[in-house]
Chains A and B, each alone.
Chain A
């Protein structure tokens, strides 16, 4: 068995040989040693498949690859930069909204349009990737929220700025409508963009939401 003692991350006790499946972003919480980033998946092809854990006393040793990942958005697989792995985990978690049934708010809420959800998370990954590649900065994680009209919100509130983006159909085309500012209506931006490519003006502004 490969020596995987380069890093031990406190997790939960598991039985020897037990398989445990979990969302990857839970594996990658703050607290892991950034200097020990040279870690490999023990088994499985990505962080979203079963990962075999090695049992050692009180800790579970994990080896996680630093290779780029991939996530499945309905019927499409898209690549994810290693540094955006937490965003990928958030997107995986947001899939729950696709199972919301009519009246999920106990009133008149509609199910979430899967086309709109997919467009929203692809839009998010597109801008996060562009910002990373152009500035080496990582976009802070937004909230991904279902709306009662079947659309999807992306919402950021950082220490510096706030931004709300809603993806919805306008004459059968999915557009992203946005408002952002530095709180109290300071230096606001507002408008809409297409979702299939990066709008540089919006992307530049969104660097205010990046670490």
Chain B
């Protein structure tokens, strides 16, 4: 559906983080190092050229967990990382656009995602520490506060209509 594109150094990627992985040291909030354990294909992120913070929370709320239940988007925080910084970290191999398409419509609980990208690296304690500390030391730029409760009604309405919603189709009508 969506062609892979090259992500410029000047752009950013978002990483959504479950609250259990977030260190809260008032006034700071940042992901702990454990959060940055990569999956076999890399660390999933979202390219800010293709998605907004609001849409990320909606995407989370329309996704299923392993028990086939909709995920509670309120359990997540979002952090932003510069692509140029990520590419400067020794051991990070690449940041690649990797749009996710499951069909039109995609199955319930598996929304499509034109913004998906992968930060590719092997599991490494140094990389994980550097990523966590970036968010801590640049917290004002990295942490993305958002009134996620403001989306509750909208997400419930979307859930009642899936898969007949833009997020399970081609995103052309996504706000």
Q: Interface of A with B (CB < 8 Å)? A: 102-108, 143, 145-149, 151, 153, 155, 157, 162, 164-166, 177-179, 183, 188, 190
Is A106 a contact partner of B37 (Cβ separation < 8 A)? no
Which residues of B (9-67) have their CB < 8 Å from a CB of A? 18, 20-21, 23, 32-34, 37, 39, 65-67
* B46 CB, min distance to chain A CBs, angstroms: 14
Assess the B66–A108 pair: CB atoms within 8 A.
Answer: yes
Residue in B21, B66, B76, B125 whose CB lies within 8 Å of A177 = B125
A188 touching B32, Cβ below 8 Å? no
Q: How large is the interface on B (under 10, 10 to 19, 20 to 34, 35 or more residues)?
A: 20 to 34
* A105 partner, pick from B20, B125, B126, B133, beta carbons under 8 A: B20
Q: Are the C-beta atoms of B33 and A106 separated by less than 8 Å?
A: no
Q: Which residues of A are found within 8 Å of B151, using beta-carbon distances?
A: none
Name the contact of A103 in the complex, choosing from B23, B37, B67 (C-beta under 8 A). B67
Given A145-B33, A148-B34, A149-B37, does the pair A164, B65 have CB atoms closer than 8 Å? no
Does residue B129 face the partner (Cβ distance < 8 Å to A)? yes
Residue B100 at the chain A interface, CB threshold 8 Å: no
Whether the Cβ atoms of A164 and B20 lie closer than 8 Å is: no
Task: Tell which of B34, B66, B72, B126 touches A147, judged by Cβ atoms closer than 8 Å.
Answer: B34
Residues of chain A lying within 8 A (CB to CB) of residue B124: 179
Bound CA–CA A106/B57 (angstroms): 14
Give the most central of B72, B129, B133: most A CB within 10 Å: B129
Instruction: Kindly list 10 other residue pairs between chains A and B, CB separation below 8 angstroms, not including A145-B21, A157-B133.
Output: A106-B65, A106-B71, A106-B72, A106-B76, A107-B66, A145-B34, A162-B129, A164-B33, A183-B133, A190-B125
User: B75 at interface (Cβ–Cβ under 8 A)?
Assistant: yes
Q: Known A106-B18, A106-B65; judge A146-B129 contact (CB<8 A).
A: no
Chain B residues engaging chain A, CB cutoff 8 angstroms:
18, 20-21, 23, 32-34, 37, 39, 65-67, 71-72, 75-76, 123-126, 128-129, 133
Q: Pick the 5 closest A-B CB pairs, nearest first.
A: A179-B125, A179-B126, A103-B66, A145-B34, A147-B34
Instruction: Tell me the nearest residue of chain A to B73, going by C-beta.
Output: A106
Q: Which residues of A contact B66 (CB under 8 A)?
A: 102-103, 107-108
- Bound CA–CA A108/B76 (angstroms): 15
Q: Do A103 and B65 contact each other (CB < 8 Å), given the known contacts A148-B37, A164-B33?
A: yes
**Distance between A190 CB and nearest chain B CB, rounded to angstroms:** 6
Complex CA gap A6/B126 in Å reads 48
**How far, in whole Å, are A107 and B126 apart by their CA atoms in the complex?**
24
B126 vs chain A, min Cβ distance (A) = 4
Q: Are B32 and A153 within 8 A (Cβ)? A: yes
With a cutoff of 8 Å between Cβ atoms, the chain A residues found around residue B39 in the complex are 108
**Separation in Å of the B61 CB from the closest CB of chain A?**
11
Contact (Cβ within 8 A) A164 B75 = no
Give Cα A178–Cα B124 distance, bound, in whole angstroms. 9
